[in-house]
Structure 1
Amino acid sequence: MLPGRHPARRADTAVPGPLLPAATRAAVAEFVATAMFVFAAEGSVYGLWKLYKDTGTPGGLVAVAIAPALALVAAVAVASDASGGHVNPAVTFGVLVGRRISFGRAVVYWAAQLLGAVVASLLLTLVAGGTRPMGFGLGIGIHERHALLLEAVMTFGLTYAVYATAVDHRSRVGGGGGGGGAMAPLAIGFVLGANILAGGPFDGAAMNPARAFGPALVGWSWRHHWVYWVGPLIGAGLAGALYEFVMVEQQQPDQAPAGPRMPVLAEDY
């Protein structure tokens, strides 16, 4: 074959499609961001153990609320461009319910998030001299049904904040988006910290199945573990459905587009 006989075909086969690299970058971003978050969040508990024998104090509660909040701000910020900065299987489920991500991409996110949480928990165990993480547990007098409702309510608020400041903002072009994108990590981190202050004494306030799964697997402590999956998934699913199908302005078939708003495609996540 003479050189240059089929330049278009050679160009098509030489350049890979954009979907696989984008999906890979998104998975790596979720893995790294979730590992960063879990390492700092669970590491704050390790630090309190190192300093104080009794960590169940108001000061300890503030410490374990501030550390995850700051870590989540950073994690969402560093992963937002590549993956949307979910850093939470429940948030990914809420976005899936709102049809802002494909099911296949969601599965990839879930695998990356869970793996990142496990790796972070293993690293903490190594640096702590083999001390296994305690993970999450219910407070004295707290029944599983109470914790289930609490996790659902707290994760609802967290996912709603993600939708309003990050997901919906990414679907806007031009002036409609405002400054929501820059404020999204701060707003999400603030909601997480506030919820930990409110729910920490009752059930630890996970709001994140990966955050609960990593320490549970490494520490092999599964008591009440289902609560930290079912509750967050219920709350996130409700938040995604409410925001997407109620709060987002629905365009009528016979109406022209009201503005520059565009839907977020699965490839954007």
Structure 2
Amino acid sequence: MPISRIAVGRREDATQPEALKAALAEFISTLIFVFAGEGSGMAFNKLTSDGATTPAGLVAAALAHAFALFVAVSVGANISGGHVNPAVTFGAFVGGNITLLRGLLYWIAQLLGSTVACLLLKFVTNGMTTSAFSVSSGVTVYNAFVFEIVMTFGLVYTVYATAIDPKKGDLGTIAPIAIGFIVGANILVGGAFDGASMNPAVSFGPALVSWSWANHWVYWAGPLIGGGLAGLVYEFFFINHSHQELPSTDY
């Protein structure tokens, strides 16, 4: 059972060279993702002179995040697993697929990657604001909270099905693009309501650099709950109960 596999881990899980390499990979992947995703929004603001978001802008944001996440997951997959998201790391933890200490190391790297990306964006755009995620007019924080839970559930469920599941087989080769697609699709759904973060690191960097923390808890609590639920559901119902072991000759 996944709960029985949850472990704090040993000190080496966060200090050995391979762990530090994995953390560096998470830092770089998150930096790549946030620089492109947040940067696309800043480019839209410049082109429209901070005008209102349009349907075309929403589509552009969805495409930028989908493409960037596809690349970010791909370049980190063979080193760290390509989490690029504290909610994915948390989902892997509650499913017993990563230790607490390694997970915390990943979190630090992801948050630093997002922060450095936003600092670089602020510099290269000559001081433009890195816009923090916010709840749209007419949407309550609880609407946004549920939005983030559902969207992140779909994201982490996709990660489990295409990347973590030991029976994924050839499906693993399309994991990065599937993960990018679900994020892009969710942005088309939730972007107009709460920005569709699904990723505490993506929310943290812009909030820290712009020092804007309004309703910031939504972008941590929602994704972590959604990611944790996805990890538990997939582990309980699909990995442990429905999958049969293959004969050794089939590996």
- What TM-score, normalized by structure 1, do the two folds share? 0.84
Supply the AA of the counterpart residue of 2:113.
G
* Distance in 2 (alpha carbons) for counterparts of 1:260 and 1:25: 34
Structure 1: 4+ residue segments shifted above 4 A: none
After superposition, residues 1-269 of structure 1 pair within 5 angstroms as 20-53=16-49, 54-168=51-165, 171-172=166-167, 177-250=168-241, 258-259=245-246
Supply the AA of the counterpart residue of 1:221.
S
* Distance in 2 (alpha carbons) for counterparts of 1:83 and 1:144: 33
Deviations 1:37-68 (CA, angstroms, capped at 9, x unpaired): 00000000111011113241110000111001
Deviations 1:7-45 (CA, angstroms, capped at 9, x unpaired): xxxxxxxxxxxx812101100000000000000000001
Choose 50-59 or 80-89, whichever is displaced more: 50-59
> For 1:179, what is the secondary structure of its paired residue?
helix
For these two proteins, the number of residue pairs brought into alignment is 234
Deviation at 1:243, TM superposition (A): 0.3
Choose 125-134 or 192-201, whichever is displaced more: 125-134
Contact 1:165/1:184, CA 8 A, preserved across alignment: yes
Structure 2 runs not aligned, ≥5 long? 1-14
* Distance in 2 (alpha carbons) for counterparts of 1:258 and 1:112: 35
Supply the AA of the counterpart residue of 1:155.
T
Structure 1 runs not aligned, ≥5 long? 1-18, 262-269
Contact 1:48/1:55, CA 8 A, preserved across alignment: no
Deviation at 1:250, TM superposition (A): 3.6
Deviation at 1:223, TM superposition (A): 0.2
Alpha-carbon RMSD:
1.7
* Distance in 1 (alpha carbons) for counterparts of 2:65 and 2:176: 12
Instruction: Find the counterpart in structure 2 of residue 14 from structure 1.
Output: none
* Distance in 1 (alpha carbons) for counterparts of 2:204 and 2:55: 26
* Distance in 1 (alpha carbons) for counterparts of 2:52 and 2:73: 28
* Distance in 2 (alpha carbons) for counterparts of 1:34 and 1:76: 9
* Distance in 1 (alpha carbons) for counterparts of 2:131 and 2:45: 11
Assess, with a 3 A threshold, how the Cα gap between structure 1 residues 259 and 231 changes in structure 2: closer, same or farther: same
Assess, with a 3 A threshold, how the Cα gap between structure 1 residues 260 and 161 changes in structure 2: closer, same or farther: farther
